[in-house]
Chain A
Amino acid sequence: MPSTLSDLERPHAPATAARNPGGVDRRPFRDNPRLILLGICILLAALVAMVTLADRWSAEVNPSFLTEVVLYAVSAADLTMLLALGFVLARNIIKLAVERRRGLPFSRFRAKLVGALLGLTIIPALLVLLVGGELIRSSTQKWVSQPVDAVLGSAKQIAGEYYREREEIVASQAAGLARALPAGALRNGDAGGIRRIIETEVTQGRMRRIDVYVLTEGGGPVSLVAAQSPTLPRHDLRVFTDRFAARVAAGTASVAHETLDGGGGIVQAGSVVAEPGTGQPLGVVIATDHLTGELAREARRIVDAYEDYTRLRVLLPPLQGMYLSLFLMMTLMILVSATWMGLYLAKRITRPVHMLAEGAREIGAGHLDHRIEPETRDEFGSLIEAFNSMAAELATGQRKLERSRLDLERKNLQLEDRRRYIETVLERIATGVVSIGADGRVETINGSALRLLGVDRGVVGTEAAEIFEREDLKPLGGLLRQARTGSAPAVGHEITLAREGRDVHLAAAVTPLRRDDGGHEGAVLVFDDVTPLIRTQRVAAWRDVARRLAHEIKNPLTPIQLCAERMRRHFGAAPAPVRDLVEECTSTIVGEVESLKDLVDEFAQFARMPAPKAVPTDLHRMLADALALYNGLFQAIRIETRFDPTLPLVRIDAEQMRRVIINLVDNAVEALGGSSASAAPGRLVPLVVIETQHDPASGVARFTVADNGPGISAADRDKLFMPYYSTKRRGSGLGLAIVRRIVVEHGGSIEVHDNAPHGTRFVIEVPL
């Protein structure tokens, strides 16, 4: 969750990681249409090449190469492809099974798609393989048949018989010549005589060439003479004939064949010329006949055809094997391609959907900046782009929401601050505030209300009616009832509550809370303690009365006093009884006038109290000066000071505050009995304690005047500071009123409490 608005504005890193960071983004083979097309072209080219080569191999390839290399290679390729197919199938079947077991998305769909594609391909492919294989086998079987076998065999037999016949003729000629040649001519090397004999044979056309060799002792045959027909094609037969003669002499051959350059061939037969009687070999006769080109060619063609046919028969199994292997290879290629294509299509289809599902999960998890990189520009690509747009809009909306949430949170914090501020203010103010809900229960109540009503915090949640049923709070309860019924006055209403024998004057107002539809939603009760205000008003009234009294009474006093003294002087010469009477009356008049003057002076002083001139003053010094007046006056009363050494200078009018101290100490001394006070054994020592305190937390200086006298009753305590209220027989009742006024005009306060265990305690607080 973003912590600030700036976090919201900063986009997150793209969720789709770069595939090849730091390098060129290589597309895999399956996603590259060009590579796929190239692969298909290579496959087709391989198939065409195999078909073409198979067609040519059957006619041209060396059989050994065919059976030793080609067949093995094709079979090896078949096995390899079979293994590859098995591997691909097994791998993907296992993979699909594992995916299904793990419950991966789209595994079932992929399995079905691959299975359907494989089923659609494998069954026809196997059928084609079986039918095609049978076709190949039956077709190749037809290459060899019994009629062809018989015809070619007969033809070869005819050609062979012709050759054999010619061999026998030539051999017969050679044998005849060997017998006809004179042994002596051969022994003597008579080439001329022998030539005549053999030339006759050649000239008569019985042979095309005749060679006569003489056998040397311990060596091979040596050519003696040769005769050749001019019709024999020119061909160097020398070497061939010499070699054949040697084989004839050795007894290892009697007939030989040689193919001529210009077509046709020769048949040679040899015979040994032996010594008549002994049979000792003397020489060798080689007879050569020519097989014309057409005849030899036809015979050769017959034999070639026969050999081709028999070779085909011999090579039929490997040829069938090769064709079947090629066919199997093509089938396997199709199967492998189909399998791969099925897997590819399944992946092609499920991958974008899987990516979309993954993306949806990411979005659902709150990663709204997750994006999917479209891999294609087809419908799936459009779908992914639509998903990305949706995600972007969601992200924008979420950012707006987040921004609003933060705004709301900030406003809530502000409201909370404000609430806390109001609570603090409510807790601090002197006005009591009580909020009451629609159900009539107290929801909030501040400290002043608690103090003024004399209840604790436990009242929160209780029925307001129950609280205000209390005897002293009943006036407020009535006010609340009026508010509920709508008859309560909108303005403040003054209510007097009796509290511990004192009257507490409250200015209370109830504000009913209304919903928009006018329904009752509770009320807020606000009340102020106006008792000090009323008291002040009374003091002001008394000051006015005092000023009028002083003015109205003081004026006639002087004439009265003068008249009385004049009467005393006038009757000074009168008889004694008269003079005594006058003296007594005038003394009384003058005394009472003096008393009235003192009273009027006090009234005037109370009425014309000047504003204090506050300056920083050493309070301790001022107190010490004031208390010095009492040194030695009262033997039985002990005056004790407990000063706080940390107290700083206090802004006060020293003269006025001195009067306050003297007044309070006078009252304390008088409460302890004054000059008649005594410290009887077993009783407490009459004691007046003046104590100072520094209260930095409140920012006030506090000083206390306490005595251990009889104390003041609770009923009198409230009236104590009112003018003309006095518990003394001869008091004007203005002393504490003046004290209170001085303290108040200094911005301070004065309270009176009971002193423990006996006596009274006046506490004065003035701001520093």
Chain B
Amino acid sequence: MLIRAASCALLLLAAQALVSAVQAIHVTPLVRDGRIYVSFKLSEAFDNDDIRAAIHSGLTITFLYDIELRRGAAAWIDRTLDAATVSAGVQFDNLARRYHVSLSVDGRLEDTAILEREDRARRWLTEFERLNLFRSDRLEPNIEYYVRVRARTTPRNASFVWPWRGTDVAGLAKFTFLR
């Protein structure tokens, strides 16, 4: 009885964590012209004082997004069909009060900018529109897939003894591929 109660409690906690993680990143996949475009938005990232302090310390802070195209499996671990890494970096110039931002996909520098306003820097770092990440020709029609986005920052504010942490925030969006 005790074991059953403990198991139920653990399942409840896990479900809550999943829900909060899903709500942290809003993911929108779009399949068009043989490509899969992924839009996602990390909510409330700059509401965290630690992140703001880290950015305004002049450190180069990088928001790393691991994006996976996956297919669910009923009795096994979901299969990852494709994966990409998007990194958005920012370095704040305290003298000029400007945000030097950059965008890389799979290590490839895509864009840079100098932004004066924090909200624009925040959007640069947390909102991404129609990133052309995956091809759809490998997908099977009428099958449900999902795109999972996991976000983390570097450097980490890791703690002593056990620096390993799970992904800070994550989100996913399912879609059914129709040819």
Contact = CB atoms under 8 A, between A and B. Distances in A.
Contact of A156 (B94, B155, B161): B94
A646 interface: no
B153 to A, nearest CB: 10
SS of A interface (majority): helix
A299 B56 CA distance: 17
Interface in B148-165: 154-164
Contacts of B159: 317-318, 321
Contact of A314 (B97, B157, B161): B157
A315 interface: yes
Given A66-B155, A68-B154, A320-B160, A160 B94 contact: yes
B94 A63 contact: no
Nearest to B59: A311
Interface residues of B, number: 28
Most chain B CB within a 10 A radius of its CB, from A159, A257, A310, A325: A310
B114 to A, nearest CB: 7
B90 to A, nearest CB: 13
B168 to A, nearest CB: 13
B160 A324 contact: yes
B95 A163 contact: yes
Interface in A52-94: 63-64, 66-68, 71-72, 75, 78
A525 B89 CA distance: 131
Interface in B7-37: none
B95 A67 contact: no
Interface string B21-59: 000000000000000000000000000001001101111
A466 interface: no
A253 interface: yes
A307 B154 CA distance: 17
A651 interface: no
Given A68-B155, A314-B59, A314-B157, A303 B164 contact: no
B95 A314 contact: no
Given A63-B59, A64-B62, A71-B163, A317 B158 contact: yes
A306 interface: yes
A743 to B, nearest CB: 120
B1 interface: no
B116 interface: yes
Contacts of A315: 59, 155
Contacts of B5: none
Contacts of A160: 94-95, 97
B160 A310 contact: no
Given A64-B155, A71-B158, A321 B57 contact: no
Given A160-B94, A311-B57, A67 B160 contact: no
Contacts of A317: 157-160
A597 interface: no
Interface in A303-331: 303, 306-307, 310-311, 313-315, 317-318, 320-321, 324-325, 328
B96 interface: yes
Nearest to B54: A314
A659 B153 CA distance: 150
B163 A67 contact: yes
A75 B165 CA distance: 13
A71 B162 CA distance: 9
A306 B157 CA distance: 19
A735 B53 CA distance: 160
A441 interface: no
Nearest to B98: A257
Interface string A733-750: 000000000000000000
B57 A163 contact: no
Nearest to A304: B58
A307 B98 CA distance: 14
Interface in A265-324: 299-300, 303, 306-307, 310-311, 313-315, 317-318, 320-321, 324
A313 B57 CA distance: 9
Given A72-B163, A311-B58, 15 more contacts: A67-B157, A72-B164, A163-B95, A164-B97, A253-B116, A314-B54, A314-B155, A315-B59, A317-B157, A318-B156, A318-B163, A320-B160, A321-B160, A321-B163, A324-B160
11 contacts: A64-B60, A67-B155, A67-B158, A68-B154, A68-B156, A72-B163, A159-B95, A164-B97, A257-B96, A306-B94, A318-B155
